[in-house]
Amino acid sequence: MQWIVGGGPVMYPLLICSVVALAVIIERALSLSKKQVIRPELVRLIQDIRDVGDVPMAFSKCQVIKGPFSNIIKHTLVNMHLSWEEKLHEIQVAGKEEAKRLERNLNILEIIASIAPLLGLFGTVLGLDEIFGVMATVGLGDPKSFSGGIAQALRTTILGLAIAMPTSIAAGVFDRKVDSMVSDMERLSTVLLNKLYASKVRMERGGRLEEFKMRGPGEKV
């Protein structure tokens, strides 16, 4: 505690930054768990779907299992009248929307990683100003008289860098993790899309597609 007090008033906003950064890192680490985002039951659902006749069942399950992956799957299941290319574009747009939601609070880490070294530098400048003020008053005869300014100049810089480095690393790791999971969700949804459109072609040839179109995605087959 004495080490913090010796760093001057800038140490307190730096401590606030450290607490906020730690809270965001813990929250994002829990929220961005792969099993939490790419739910295994939804992966099994995609594996179990055989044809467009399974769409109502799949849609109802996605209504129950909330989350970014189920939102992308629902975009895959609806509007089956669109072409394959249009549906693929719809999946990609949905993926970008979910990526924005998954990146929630990451901008806070980026801001803290940027501002912490500046606060540390500000504390250093204040410490140097105090040193020069004391030197102008008492000269260099008593080093202890300006030791407080030296401590303030060093400690704020140390703490600012100590906060910025892990925070910046965490923001980069979470950002790459989001990109990877969104890519996996889009890939799995494309697998589902291929299944449905292959089934759609078979049903069109067999004359059964009109029967399917009479039902909404939430109705039982």
Q: What beta strand segments (E) does 13-115 contain? A: none
Q: Residue 214: helix, strand or coil by DSSP?
A: coil
Rounded CA-CA distance 46/114 in Å is 42
In the predicted structure, residue 88 carries a pLDDT above the cut 70: yes
pTM for this entry: 0.78
Identify whether 12 is part of a domain.
yes
Q: How many residues does the chain have?
A: 221
Identify whether 221 is part of a domain.
no
Tens of pLDDT along 97-124? Answer: 999 999 988 999 999 999 999 998 888 8
| Residue 23 half-sphere exposure toward CB, CA atoms < 13 A | 9
Q: Are 116 and 163 in contact (CB under 8 A)?
A: yes
Tens of pLDDT along 126-171? Answer: 877 666 666 556 655 556 655 656 766 788 888 999 999 999 999 9
Identify whether 52 is part of a domain.
yes
Confidence band of 91 (pLDDT split at 50, 70, 90): very high
Helical (H) or strand (E) element with 201: helix 147-206
Tens of pLDDT along 25-75? Answer: 999 999 999 888 999 999 999 998 888 888 889 899 999 998 999 999 999
Number of domains within the chain: 1
> DSSP for 51-63?
SGGGHHHHHHHHH
pLDDT for residue 147: 60
Nearest Cα neighbor of 174 from 111, 121, 104, 94 is 104
Identify whether 220 is part of a domain.
no
Rounded CA-CA distance 125/154 in Å is 10
Identify whether 21 is part of a domain.
yes
Full domain range(s) for residue 126: 2-213
Structure tokens at 152: 């303030």
Nearest Cα neighbor of 22 from 160, 123, 156, 170 is 170
The rounded radius of gyration (Å) of the Cα atoms in the chain is 28
Identify whether 198 is part of a domain.
yes
